[in-house]
């Protein structure tokens, strides 16, 4: 991959942010190559799947996007050189430090990567970008995510119905048994599928339970 058109990561990112049992790093070629091989979940979490990074052109474009200047910062959680999760933050959202693209692949789930990754990022943000609270939106069916977010001090402040084009398109296509588990959080309204989403907020400095470090 060429590196000429990319701004130096050091101008925007620390080399690494150490955390319990992992560290956060900016995207780089080696980590992108490894993330391309992450396991995938498919519907209804298909938007997070990264198999498209196996296409070198897409990988190059995503790496460029993940390093470009602007309001967003994109981090990869790394354990012993292996990428185990990713998260992005919008530093300039009106509602606060806005966390998005929280993703831990299935082979690394259930051992606190999400909690430790977000805990590390928020501790760093509280220091480097002080004076802001945290906010995120989450699909109401993403129960594992909510458990992690609540342990980190997030609370649901709003519930709303949202038209997510990608999920709506899939809802027409997937068999009923795949629709069923998320059924309580979907509705067919005014001729289109909508998904229930929660807005969650965390006050800066709120206590966090990071769980045990492996
Ligand atoms: C949500 C997600 C980030 C959680 O990552 P994770 O590293 O497994 O999360 P953690 O281990 O820190 O905690 C998640 C909670 O779900 C539980 N959990 C995770 N995987 C589980 C599984 N397969 N079976 C049962 N429980 C599970 C954990 O035990 C934990 O619950 P606890 O706090 O009560 O012990 C990950 O599952 C994911 O990427 N999902 C798809 C994308 C997504 O939903 N992103 C969030 C969008 S807002």
Confidence of residue 204 (pLDDT cuts 50, 70, 90): very high
pLDDT in tens, 16-55: 999 999 999 999 999 999 999 999 999 999 999 999 999 9
Pick the CATH number of 9-202 from 3.30.70.3040, 3.40.1800.10, 3.40.630.30, 3.30.1330.20: 3.40.630.30
Domain ranges of the chain: 9-202
Cβ neighbour number for residue 62 with a 10 Å cutoff:
19
**pLDDT value for 178:** 87
76-87 burial, b for 16+ CB within 10 Å, e for fewer? bbbbeeebbbbb
pLDDT in tens, 72-120: 999 999 999 999 999 999 999 999 999 999 999 999 999 999 999 999 9
Distance 100 CA to ligand 1 centre (A): 15
**pLDDT value for 135:** 98
pLDDT in tens, 3-25: 334 444 557 899 999 999 999 99
CA atoms within 13 A on the CB side of 185: 18
In terms of phi and psi (left: phi > 0; alpha: psi -120 to 50; beta: otherwise), the region of 9 is alpha
Confidence of residue 176 (pLDDT cuts 50, 70, 90): confident
Residue with tokens 């309204």: 189
Measured by CA distance, the residue closest to atom 28 of ligand 1 is 110
CA atoms within 13 A on the CB side of 42: 5
Residue 101 belongs to what H/E stretch?
A: strand 97-103
Distance 111 CA to ligand 1 centre (A): 8
Pocket test for ligand 1, best of 102, 109, 150 (most atoms within 8 A of CB): 109
Q: What global pTM score does this model have? A: 0.93
Which atom in ligand 1 lies closest to the alpha carbon of residue 139? 48
**pLDDT value for 10:** 55
Cα–Cα separations (whole angstroms), residue 185 to 44, 168, 182 = 12, 12, 6
Q: Is 25 in the pocket of ligand 1 (CB under 6 A)?
A: no
**Distance in angstroms (rounded) separating the CA atoms of residues 172 and 163:** 14
Measured by CA distance, the residue closest to atom 13 of ligand 1 is 148
């Amino acid at each position: 991959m060429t590196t000429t058109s990319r701004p130096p990561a050091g101008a925007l990112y620390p080399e690494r942010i150490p955390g319990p049992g992992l560290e956060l790093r900016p995207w780089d070629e080696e980590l992108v190559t490894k993330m391309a091989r992450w396991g995938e979940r498919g519907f209804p979490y298909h938007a997070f799947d990264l198999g498209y990074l196996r296409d070198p052109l897409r990988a190059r474009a995503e790496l460029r996007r993940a390093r470009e200047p602007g309001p967003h910062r994109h981090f990869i959680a790394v354990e012993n050189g292996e990428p185990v999760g990713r998260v992005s933050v919008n530093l300039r959202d009106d509602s606060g430090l806005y966390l998005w693209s929280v993703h831990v692949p299935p082979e690394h789930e259930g051992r606190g990567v999400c909690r430790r990754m977000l805990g590390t990022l928020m501790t760093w943000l509280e220091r480097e970008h002080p004076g802001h609270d945290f906010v995120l939106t989450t699909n109401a069916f993403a129960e594992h995510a909510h458990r992690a977010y609540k342990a980190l001090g997030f609370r649901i402040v709003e519930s709303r119905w949202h038209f997510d084009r990608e999920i709506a398109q899939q809802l027409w296509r997937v068999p009923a048994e795949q629709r069923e588990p998320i059924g309580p959080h979907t509705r067919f309204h005014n001729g289109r599928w909508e998904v229930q989403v929660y807005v969650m907020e965390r006050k800066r400095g709120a206590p966090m339970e990071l769980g045990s470090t492996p």
